[in-house]
Amino acid sequence: MNRQRTTITEIANKLGVSPSTVSRALHNHPAISDATKKAVLKLAKSLNYQPNLLALNLLRKKTNTIGVIVPEITSYFFSSIINGIQDFIKQADYNMVIGQSNESYKEERSIVDTFSSIQVDGFLISPSSSTKHFGHLQTLKENNIPLVIFDRDCEGVDVDKVFVDEYNGALQAVEYLINSGCKKIAHIAGPKILSTARHRLEGYKMALKMRGIPVEDQYIVKSNGFMPKHGINPTKKLLALPDPPDAIFAINDGVAIGAMSVIKAAGIKIPEEISILGFDDDPHSSYFKPSLSTVSQPTYEMGMLSARILMNRINSGNDLTKIRIESLYSELILRDSSRK
Amino acid sequence: MNRQRTTITEIANKLGVSPSTVSRALHNHPAISDATKKAVLKLAKSLNYQPNLLALNLLRKKTNTIGVIVPEITSYFFSSIINGIQDFIKQADYNMVIGQSNESYKEERSIVDTFSSIQVDGFLISPSSSTKHFGHLQTLKENNIPLVIFDRDCEGVDVDKVFVDEYNGALQAVEYLINSGCKKIAHIAGPKILSTARHRLEGYKMALKMRGIPVEDQYIVKSNGFMPKHGINPTKKLLALPDPPDAIFAINDGVAIGAMSVIKAAGIKIPEEISILGFDDDPHSSYFKPSLSTVSQPTYEMGMLSARILMNRINSGNDLTKIRIESLYSELILRDSSRK
DNA sequence: TAATTTTATGCAAACCTTTGCATAAGTTGG
DNA sequence: CCAACTTATGCAAAGGTTTGCATAAAATTA
């Protein structure tokens, strides 16, 4: 019952020719007679022949497949990066396999191993927030398997990297808050282990310093994630301060939305009493009431650029003396959750 | 410079044994002496040997990989289905490749071809909204490649299918609106070609009929997509009616959110003057003001179940006389956008 | 017509791994 | 000490495809 996939040998046997002839006919080799070519193409079509890439890839030692590893796939942030990657590699006839580390170092390691086994031609990795050791990435480098790290940095791993300049994004955002008259600006920070969270925090601090505003520990609280629910407790903590802030710069839009819900529930007016600023420009953010001011990151472009750099590596000698570190610009998007 | 991946033959040569011995040593075959086994394992580890699955898969005619095709990946709806799939197949040591059709029939076809070529063991497909011909799916069936269709139906393709009972979900939702006192209930419908949109529309109509409320064409308007922006125009159309509705049942949460923004901008009170009900229970929905009432779909479970059924097919004879059609329950989630 | 060139096809190796069968060496029992 | 058995290893085929080289047949030239 189990009908096998049609193979070249099968076509060859049915036509009484050799597999080589069939292969050449299918690839328009000049040394094949028109009659044979025609017969082969016809039979191939009627049997719905599809080349077995497993065999070809084994022969070529190349799979035209890249491995993409992200912390999670359900956020718009990462899924739109993936869109950028896909649109770039599609035109080069590449495929990708996607792995989710779920912010777990162990899973990340295991996905790297799996993808290595299926012989991907290269990796595009945004490391998990619990990844502190980079042995698995170093191994890729040692084995000369192209790797591009994006969005989140791994210091000490010398490979191509693509980031967004989040430091300046945060700096400009907080500067804007200061210019609009806010004096007590709080920050809901992300996990310190993430370079992105650190850079946003640094940008926040620098903006304050530049204006001579003291950086106060009470105004820096930590969130344990990036969803609205993770913004709840940090915000409650801020509101409970003897001198609560008049602006909150949140690590991302999800957390900002959680913050807004707490603030509105407390009967505090946004932005009159407290300005809110997010990060990432989630597509939902403009539909909240008030609509959320935020810093937009070029996610799609980051995916495109990372893929482009990886493909370059794959198609060149992978000369690791020339490492590219790219930084993309973010953009401040002003809506109604921040004062003018 | 290009260091090759370590192979079994390489290890064999370095140790002066045959590849077979190395293979057996690595797999703990009983007929290998402890000394050899130890030496092989040690060298394999130090060379960071990773089996070449390409070769193995070619031999086994099995890749332990399934192909998943969804219309898009950026929505929470599909990405959480993918999560369910991944969590199920992970424990069976399977991988997946993900393709996005972007609601394009042509892309869908091409992804099916690509995935067939890389010899996936089975398919999990939620067809694009422009897929009217199912030849590519029939071909899979004819070639005896296991296929499970989920979320969106393809009538006439007799394979395993997993859906959510959206008809009853919609029915209950609209019944609730009626019970809460709404008399003029509108529906922002999705593209008719989608079984899911049709079923929701039918559920809406049936609920009205069951209560003797006439189904009026003016209250059924069409949206061109599932994002907030796609809810704008349909809602404006409804508000411009001589007798505007007192409730809107939207095809999904995205559209409902767009609807809410139009209604609030018009100074109309939700839910006092107009109740709003969505579909899908997007994680953002509870954070809107008012929080959005909606119908929750068990997306993660749908992914899990689809994967489970597919794996069963793959690991059994794929007896197509026993087709499974599964239907999962949705759940009405009441929040503040609908009257009590 | 014989020699040469052109045209069309086949053979076999390679890619890497697993596994049934064969075989060599070593061990046991009579 | 030889037969029978055990233990450890090797050989070769298989999986599907491509491609350099060889070769057979056909066409051209002298």
Question: What digits encode the pLDDT tens for the residues B264-298?
Answer: 999 999 999 999 999 999 999 999 989 999 999 99
Residue B10 pLDDT exceeds 70: yes
Spacing of C-alpha A332 from chain mean position: 20
Q: Which amino acid is at A295?
A: V
Residue B8 pLDDT exceeds 90: yes
Among the partner-chain residues B48, B58, B97, the one whose CB lies closest to the CB of A97 is B97
Residue B318 pLDDT exceeds 80: no
Residues of A in contact with B257 (CB under 8 A): 284, 287
Q: Are B105 and B48 in contact (CB under 8 A)?
A: no
> Residue B260: which pLDDT band, with cuts at 50, 70 and 90?
very high
- What are residue B328's DSSP bridge partners? B164
Report the nucleotide nearest the CA of residue B27, measured to C1'. Answer: C18
Among the partner-chain residues A2, A119, A142, the one whose CB lies closest to the CB of B52 is A119
> Residue A3: which pLDDT band, with cuts at 50, 70 and 90?
low
- What average pLDDT is seen over chain B? 94
Residue A26 CA to nucleotide D19 C1', Å?
14
Residues 6 or more apart whose CB falls under 8 angstroms from that of B212 comprise none
Residues of B in contact with A10 (CB under 8 A): none
B216: left (phi over 0), alpha (psi -120 to 50) or beta: beta
CA pair distance B286, B292, nearest whole angstrom: 6
Q: What is the pLDDT of residues A176-202, one digit of tens each?
A: 999 999 999 999 999 999 999 999 999
**Considering only CA atoms, which residue is closest to the C1' of nucleotide D7?**
B31
> Which nucleotides of chain C does any protein CB come within 7 A of?
7-12, 14-20
DSSP code of residue B234:
H
Q: Which two tokens stand for residue B5?
A: 């991946």
* pLDDT at B1 (0 to 100): 38
* pLDDT at B3 (0 to 100): 56
Helix, strand, coil % in chain B, rounded to nearest 5: 45, 15, 40
Of the given ranges (A29-33, B121-125, B239-243), which has the lowest mean pLDDT?
A: A29-33
Residue B242 pLDDT exceeds 80: yes
CA pair distance A136, A238, nearest whole angstrom: 40
Residue B47 CA to nucleotide D15 C1', Å?
27
> Residue B108: which pLDDT band, with cuts at 50, 70 and 90?
very high
Residue of B79, B269, B313, B335 to mutate when probing chain A, most A C-beta within 10 A: B79
Q: Which two tokens stand for residue A149?
A: 């790290």
Residue A2 pLDDT exceeds 60: no
Residue predicted with more confidence, B5 or B321? B5
Residue A28 CA to nucleotide C6 C1', Å?
19
* pLDDT at B78 (0 to 100): 96
B27: left (phi over 0), alpha (psi -120 to 50) or beta: alpha
CA pair distance B180, B340, nearest whole angstrom: 6
Return the H-helix or E-strand segment holding A232.
helix A229-239
Are B143 and A117 an interchain contact pair (Cβ–Cβ within 8 Å)? Answer: no
Residue A309 pLDDT exceeds 50: yes
CA pair distance A251, B337, nearest whole angstrom: 28
Closest to B330 in 3D by CA, of B182, B126, B171, B179: B171
CA pair distance B192, B121, nearest whole angstrom: 32
Q: Are A320 and A277 in contact (CB under 8 A)?
A: no
Residue B27 CA to nucleotide C26 C1', Å?
25
Q: What is the pLDDT of residues B18-70, one digit of tens each?
A: 999 999 999 999 989 999 999 999 999 999 999 999 999 999 999 999 999 99
* pLDDT at B319 (0 to 100): 74
CA pair distance A145, A122, nearest whole angstrom: 6
CA pair distance A266, A176, nearest whole angstrom: 25
Residue B31 CA to nucleotide D4 C1', Å?
20
Q: Are B263 and B325 in contact (CB under 8 A)?
A: no
Q: Which two tokens stand for residue A48?
A: 């719905």
Mean pLDDT of A109-137: 94
CA pair distance A77, A252, nearest whole angstrom: 10
Q: Are A316 and A324 in contact (CB under 8 A)?
A: no
CA pair distance A270, A246, nearest whole angstrom: 10
**In 3-state terms, what secondary structure has residue A296?**
strand
> Residue A285: which pLDDT band, with cuts at 50, 70 and 90?
very high
Residue B2 pLDDT exceeds 90: no
Residues of B in contact with A284 (CB under 8 A): 228, 257, 282, 284
Are B73 and A96 an interchain contact pair (Cβ–Cβ within 8 Å)? Answer: no
Residue B52 CA to nucleotide D15 C1', Å?
14
> Residue A1: which pLDDT band, with cuts at 50, 70 and 90?
very low
In chain B, the percentage of residues whose pLDDT exceeds 70 is 99
What does strand D contact on the protein, if contact means CB under 7 A?
A 4, 7-9, 19-20, 23-24, 26-27, 49, 51-52, 54-56, 58-59; B 16-21, 24, 29, 31-36, 55-56, 58-59, 61
Nearest chain B residue to A120 by CA: give it: B54
Residues of A in contact with B287 (CB under 8 A): 228, 257-258, 260-261, 288
Residues of A in contact with B289 (CB under 8 A): 261, 264, 288-289
Among the partner-chain residues A58, A74, A258, the one whose CB lies closest to the CB of B83 is A74
- What average pLDDT is seen over chain A? 94
> Which nucleotides of chain D does any protein CB come within 7 A of?
7-12, 14-20
Are B100 and A86 an interchain contact pair (Cβ–Cβ within 8 Å)? Answer: yes
Q: Tell me how far CA of residue B94 lies from CA of A69, A94, B65, B75, B311, in angstroms.
A: 16, 21, 5, 24, 9
Residues 6 or more apart whose CB falls under 8 angstroms from that of A84 comprise A299, A300, A301, A302, A303, A304, A305, A306, A307
Are A48 and B139 an interchain contact pair (Cβ–Cβ within 8 Å)? Answer: yes
Give me the helices (H) in A27-165, please: 34-46, 53-60, 76-90, 105-117, 135-142
* Smallest Cα distance from A52 to chain B, Å: 5
Give me the helices (H) in chain B, please: 8-15, 19-26, 34-46, 53-60, 76-90, 105-117, 135-142, 166-179, 195-210, 229-239, 253-265, 299-315
